[in-house]
């Protein structure tokens, strides 16, 4: 599933809040952007069509939406797409870029070392 930046921002709010109504999403999003309510509602409708969110219940004409996919489910295909588009499908240049050019703490590096050690162990079996 491919999402635009705005769709992804809406999903982050829905994941954070678990249940939302479109007017609340609009209020939250317009803090950082000049967006009309109809634009936000169109994004919500698109996310519903894509199966990313669903209607939990309604109160009169007010619809409460919730996530149908988890953030981890969406991350995997999006990372694969990014890898394909920016790094010709090669993981090593992407990992190298992240390690060299991003601000990583000692805790971050320790976490990466742990993951690498586990992957090495899995491959040796």
pLDDT band of residue 102 (cuts 50, 70, 90) is: confident
Q: Is the pLDDT of residue 4 over 90?
A: no
Q: What is the pLDDT of residue 1?
A: 78
> Which band of pLDDT confidence, cut at 50, 70 and 90, is reported for residue 78?
confident
Q: What is the pTM of this model?
A: 0.72
pLDDT, one tens digit per residue, over 12-58 is 999 999 999 999 999 999 998 999 999 999 999 999 999 999 999 98
106 pLDDT more than 90: yes
Hey, what domains does the chain have and what are their CATH numbers?
5-67 (1.10.10.10), 71-124 (no CATH)
First CA to last CA across the chain, in angstroms? 33
pLDDT at 2: 80
């Amino acid at each position: 599933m491919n999402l635009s930046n705005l769709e992804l921002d809406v999903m982050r709010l829905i994941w954070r809040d678990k249940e939302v109504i479109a007017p609340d999403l609009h209020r939250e999003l317009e803090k950082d952007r000049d967006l009309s309510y109809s634009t936000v509602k169109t994004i919500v409708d698109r996310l519903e069509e894509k199966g990313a969110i669903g209607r939990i219940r309604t109160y009169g004409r007010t619809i409460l939406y919730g996530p149908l996919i988890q953030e981890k489910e969406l991350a995997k295909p999006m990372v694969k797409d990014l890898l394909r588009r920016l790094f010709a499908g090669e993981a090593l240049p992407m990992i190298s870029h992240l390690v060299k050019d991003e601000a990583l703490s000692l805790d971050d590096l320790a976490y990466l070392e742990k993951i690498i050690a586990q992957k090495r162990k899995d491959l040796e079996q």
